[in-house]
Amino acid sequence: MKYIQKLHYKHPNWGIPNLMMHVSILTGIVYVMAYGFGTNIQEFLFLNRELVFAGQVWRLITFIFIPPTPSLLWIAFTLYFYYWIGSSLEKTWGTFMFTAFYLLSLAGTVLAALAFGGYYDGFYVNLSMFLAFAWLYPEVEVMIFFFIPVKIKYLAWLDTAFLIYSFVMGDIATKLAIIASLTGFLIFFGRDIYQSLRMFVFRIKNKIKHRGL
């Protein structure tokens, strides 16, 4: 993390401005081509080691643009959510830091795919971005389906439970995708998570000690 911060100070203009706007637009285009025109474009976008080594190197990037759902209502909400969260993190961290966070999560997924094989999309990468936002702004309220107010921290707990369930029940490719996609999150927040866990354990020990007295 310190190395990333040093690069940020030296090269504050590096990065991709409005990164999540580009990701959301391209994901929307893929959605229209896949479900509006009935093409099988997604088959050409998944990250797969054998196909990458066969020369289809575009898959190292395009897997991030695969729509997570065929539902029109849900994809509209999801893409707006991606854009809102990404642009908020970019305003908080700056373009360089947000780009670094997103690319670290993407790179972790790519390395897992190249090392162990399997098929990968960008679902868990974008989920890790949401967890980063929830870590920074747990009390922010969002409007689910534009009219149901819910605090981010509650959605984050649900997503964390979903990640744990998917990790336990999923195959090896799913387990690797989850771990790899959290690369950016752990690099950025690993120390904070460790300190929070230490404080939690310390408080539990104190309660047990006081009850014992």
Query: CA nearest 136: which of 86, 84, 92?
Result: 92
Alpha carbons 58 and 22: distance in angstroms, whole number: 16
Alpha carbons 145 and 123: distance in angstroms, whole number: 19
Query: CA nearest 102: which of 183, 4, 10?
Result: 183
- Is the per-residue pLDDT at 25 higher than 60? yes
> Which of the following CATH numbers is that of domain 2-212: 1.20.1540.10, 3.10.450.240, 3.30.70.360, 1.10.3720.10?
1.20.1540.10
Domain positions in the chain are 2-212
Can you name the residues that pair with 150 across neighbouring β-strands? 142
Can you name the residues that pair with 48 across neighbouring β-strands? 119
At residue 147, the 3 state secondary structure works out as coil
Model pLDDT, residue 152: 93
Alpha carbons 29 and 21: distance in angstroms, whole number: 12
Q: Among 1-5, 93-97, 130-134, 172-176, which is the least confidently predicted range?
A: 1-5
